[in-house]
Amino acid sequence: MNVDASFFDNSEAFSIGMVVRNHQGTFIRGKMMRFAGRVQALEAELVGILEAIKWSAEFQGNTICIESDSLCSVQAIKGQDQNQLETGLLIDQCRELLKSRDWVLLSFIKKQANKVAHLLAKLPFTLNSFIVLSSPPSYVLGTLMSDI
């Protein structure tokens, strides 16, 4: 499961894109979420990872590797330090959920390998809503095929 966050210029909103593929790279499901509010990049990426961990419950029974291109987020969640930053609550929530889901792994991935999630996060849609996709939208097909 790849996850990425995106911002819109002059907007009080951010979006999350997630894509689930099987071990052969075949599209299984996608999800896009948009949230109201202006946040820093780290917070948006952490919200994305938290939402991906929550979504992983639908895939229980399968090993899920959540991949994010936010190295700071992945390191903060995997680290042992007590986090006193504004993002500390998000980090703690991610850690707690990961402890209870032994089938979920979290890892860093380079931006070049996270293109489909990034494209999904950039799609504008209604504030405070989400869309679940059972097939990939046409505008990500080329990128999806080139990632395999």
Domain ranges of the chain: 2-147
Tens digit of each residue's pLDDT (9 = 90 or more) over 81-138 = 776 677 889 999 999 999 999 999 999 999 888 899 998 898 766 667 788 889 888 8
Q: Rounded to the nearest 5 degrees, what angle is found at the Cα of 88, between the Cα atoms of 82 and 94?
A: 95
CATH class entry, domain 2-147: alpha beta
**Whole-number pLDDT of residue 125:** 64
Q: Rounded to the nearest 5 degrees, what angle is found at the Cα of 39, between the Cα atoms of 109 and 98?
A: 45
Indicate if the pLDDT at residue 64 is higher than 90: yes
Tell if the pTM clears 0.85, that is, is over it.
Answer: yes
66: β partners: 106
Element (H, E) at 85: none
